[in-house]
């Protein structure tokens, strides 16, 4: 079955440090992968998706099909990056429904 794994429940870093939130998936075909973010007391929102290959708020993520990974990276963390991050997968024929990982809380300390 398709699955998304985020191995870290909590990632704590200091402001200015690099950040990498890990995401691994299991799907044998061509997935569509997303990162969604939920800031405190805000609704879940899209951060970025692999098909657009863009950088949002300094974050990037590269799909590595060989390692079945889609890790989220930022070279210099900011305090306002503190939030819950979810990696999600969908695929053709799946009606677009998202399969989410368990989420990683990113805590950026001053």
Rounded-to-integer distance, Cα 76 and Cα 97, Å:
32
Which of 29, 40, 95, 110 is close enough to bind other proteins by CB under 8 A? Answer: 95
- 24 burial level (CB within 10 Å; 0-12, 13-18, 19+): middle
Specify the residue, 33 or 77, whose C-beta has the smaller distance to other proteins: 33
**Beta carbon of residue 29, minimum distance to other proteins (angstroms, whole number):** 13
Q: Rule CB under 8 A: which residues touch other proteins?
A: 32, 43-46, 49, 51, 86, 88, 90, 92, 95-103
């Amino acid at each position: 079955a398709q699955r998304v794994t985020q191995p870290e429940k909590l990632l704590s870093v200091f402001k200015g440090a690099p950040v990498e939130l890990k995401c691994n998936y299991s799907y044998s075909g061509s997935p569509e992968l997303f990162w969604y973010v939920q800031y405190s007391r805000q609704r879940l929102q899209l951060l970025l998706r692999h098909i657009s290959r863009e950088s949002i708020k300094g974050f990037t993520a590269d799909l590595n099909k060989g390692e079945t990974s889609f890790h989220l990276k930022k070279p210099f963390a900011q305090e306002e990056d503190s939030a819950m991050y979810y990696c999600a997968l969908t695929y053709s024929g799946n009606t677009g429904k998202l399969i989410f990982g368990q989420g990683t809380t990113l805590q950026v300390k001053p």
